Amino acid sequence: MASANPVISSERVEGTSVYNAAGDKLGSIDDLMIDKISGQVRYAVMEFGGFLGMGTDRYPIPWSMLKYDTSQDGYVVPLDKAQIEGAPRYASDQVPDYDDRYSGTIDKYYGL
């Protein structure tokens, strides 16, 4: 039997729900941050909190932490709401430079 297509458009990833292992919805993917040199996705930026996209912060999560779950039609991360609430974040209109310092802050928070 043929396997499902192993690639997906970033347009389809954006808006996909993110759940914790207990099945609680944490947020949804707002953006992907891609390494210019390698072409690999480095971070999925999750929208969390707020109401209808208003007042929501953006939380970059290392892409390697997300696992797609076909039964939930979304991504699952090994995090709970408290871990997300304490994570590096920014307002949607204040996107930081994803330089080595900022990326290091994210990776250190998640223990990578």
Q: What is the pLDDT of residues 73-111, one digit of tens each?
A: 999 999 988 898 899 999 888 999 999 999 999 999 999
In a domain, 82, yes or no: yes
- In eight-state DSSP terms, residue 51 is B
> Domain of 52: which CATH number?
2.30.30.240
Total number of domains in the chain: 1
Domain with 81, as residue range(s), is: 10-109
In a domain, 27, yes or no: yes
pTM of the model: 0.86
Q: Judge whether 59 and 88 are in contact, CB under 8 Å.
A: yes
The pLDDT tens digits for 15-61 are 999 999 999 999 999 999 999 999 999 999 999 765 555 568 899 99
Distance (Å) of CA 82 to CA 11, 12, 28, 74, 86 = 28, 28, 16, 20, 6
In a domain, 1, yes or no: no
